[in-house]
Amino acid sequence: MHQPPTFEVDGTAIRQERMQAGLEISELAELAGISRRYLSHLENGTRTRMRPSRYAALRKALKASATRLLAPPRPPENKE
């Protein structure tokens, strides 16, 4: 089964950007066109992936760079 492309996001970075912007979670959710609950799940790490359109809307609402909200790359697994 084909999985749609997604972005792996960093919930801590999202929360930091939201707080720096002086926005409540409900305010940012409304600006980005996503639910407050979904945004809360992203910030606390319950959800870590976003579809491109939602990611773009969140970035736009926060005026964040293309990579600021992304999770740091994972080191390659060591297969011994």
| Tens-place pLDDT, residues 43-76 | 999 999 999 999 999 999 999 998 999 998 877 7
Question: 52 φ, ψ to 5°?
Answer: -55, -45
Quote the pTM value.
0.87
| Residue linked to tokens 């809360």 | 40
| Tens digits of residue pLDDT in 9-32 | 999 999 999 999 999 999 999 999
* DSSP secondary structure letter of residue 71: P
Confidence at residue 12, expressed as pLDDT on a 0 to 100 scale = 96
The alpha-helical segments, DSSP class H, found in the chain are 11-20, 25-32, 36-44, 52-62
Confidence at residue 74, expressed as pLDDT on a 0 to 100 scale = 79
| C-beta neighbour count of 65 within 10 angstroms | 10
CB-based contacts of 31, cutoff 8 Å, min separation 6: 23, 61
